[in-house]
Amino acid sequence: MSLFIYQKPAAELDAPLKETLRYMGFRGNAEEKDEQAALKAMQTVKEGSNPIAVYTLNGIKRTNKCELDLGFGSFYSEDLSKYLKKAEAAVCFAATIGMHTDMLVKRYAEISPLQSLYYSSAGTNLIEAFCDGFCEDIAESMRERGLKPRGRFSPGYGDFALDCQLDLLKMLDAQKRAGIYLNENLLMTPVKSVTAVVALEKIV
């Protein structure tokens, strides 16, 4: 099994302003000053971020009805089994934009929760944009093989247990390759990190 690294400079990511505003809690009513503040936060977050993903491309072993093995040990999940029903293979990945946003959020946590929220929302927007870009590039590279990806499915969705992250991150050597740590409560550091499975289905 090979591990692959995927990187893209933060500046090249398409993270629209409206998404940051949506994560902030605006419902289409942001004023110019709010938009300016969000743009500034996004710029600061982008400047210090280093988006990186580590991933594998695996076959899917269905050992029992809803018991799966994607290369990091077998586990039971009805919802993930359903998601992978038509899949020929799966990409397992861990992605992060790095520690910079965590630091910014913490810097303002006690001084200005509003500013903290701006950075946090900008960071969420950026990691989502990075994951979207990653999945688009996977789609591109899989087209020749006649495969197309479905929308990603993360531990914590449905009955895909959060504690699967432990073995998933271990398989991906994510601590060394991407600087992603998991604590005993299954929280990832950096906070703006994502783990997920992407089903690859035959193009019909």
Residue whose C-alpha is closest to residue 66's, from 166, 161, 185, 172: 161
Cα separation, 22 vs 19, whole angstroms: 5
105 touching other proteins, by CB under 8 A: yes
Q: 19 and 71 in contact (C-beta within 8 Å)?
A: no
Residue whose C-alpha is closest to residue 80's, from 176, 183, 164: 164
11 touching other proteins, by CB under 8 A: no
Residue length, the chain? Answer: 204
Cα separation, 134 vs 137, whole angstroms: 5
Q: Which is nearer to other proteins, 76 or 108 (CB)?
A: 108
User: What's the gap between Cα 65 and its chain centre?
Assistant: 28
Cα separation, 9 vs 136, whole angstroms: 16
Site string for other proteins, 37-76 (x = CB under 8 A): -----------x-x-x----x-------------------
Residue from 63, 67, 112, 151 in contact with other proteins (CB under 8 A): 112
Least distance in angstroms from the C-beta of 58 to other proteins: 12
Least distance in angstroms from the C-beta of 20 to other proteins: 11
> What is the footprint of other proteins within residues 152-191 (CB under 8 A)?
156, 162, 170-171, 175-176, 179, 181, 183-187, 189, 191
Least distance in angstroms from the C-beta of 146 to other proteins: 10
Q: 92 and 72 in contact (C-beta within 8 Å)?
A: yes
Query: Which residues contact other proteins (rule: CB under 8 A)?
Result: 2-7, 24-27, 29-34, 48, 50, 52, 57, 98-100, 102-103, 105-114, 116-118, 120, 141-142, 144-145, 156, 162, 170-171, 175-176, 179, 181, 183-187, 189, 191
